[in-house]
Amino acid sequence: QVQLVESGGGLVQPGGSLRLSCAASGSLIAINDMGWYRQVPGKQRELVARITTGGRTNYADSVKGRFTISRDNAKNTVYLQMNSLKPEDTVVYYCYARILRGSFWGDYWGQGTQVTVSS
């Protein structure tokens, strides 16, 4: 009964900006880490950015200085601000959250949102 709903993907020109949002809802007690991953066809899903409840972050080297992850704990929402976008950023992005339901922690994923960077 937990869902992660993503929004904000779309088409942008190189050098442009985009902001992704992901809101968690349902029968959850608490949320630990949240983050964003992306997956190129034929490759394993890779970390883009991750953030703890307290705001500690880490980023993939390829996006450091360009992307910023943030969260609003009151809204159970995580954001990814993407600046200076490059064609190689074109991929499906997936929201991630580690969520407590009842007595168990589990990993949950959004449905994915397409980002396309093209002129």
How many residues are listed for the chain in this entry? 119
pLDDT per position in the chain (119 positions), as tens? 899 999 999 999 999 999 999 999 999 999 999 999 999 889 999 999 999 999 999 999 999 999 999 999 999 999 999 999 999 999 999 999 999 999 999 999 999 999 999 99
**What's the pLDDT at 1?**
82
Q: Is 27 exposed, middle or buried (0-12, 13-18, 19+ CB in 10 A)?
A: exposed
CB within 8 A of 89, min separation 6: which ones?
63, 82, 115, 117
**What's the pLDDT at 41?**
87
Tracing tokens 């002129």 back to the chain, one arrives at: 119
**What's the pLDDT at 13?**
98
| Joined tokens for residue 66 | 């360009």
Q: How far apart are CA 23 and CA 6, in angstroms?
A: 7
Q: 12: which strand partners? A: 117
Q: How far apart are CA 41 and CA 53, in angstroms?
A: 31
What is the residue type of 114? Answer: Q
**What's the pLDDT at 58?**
97
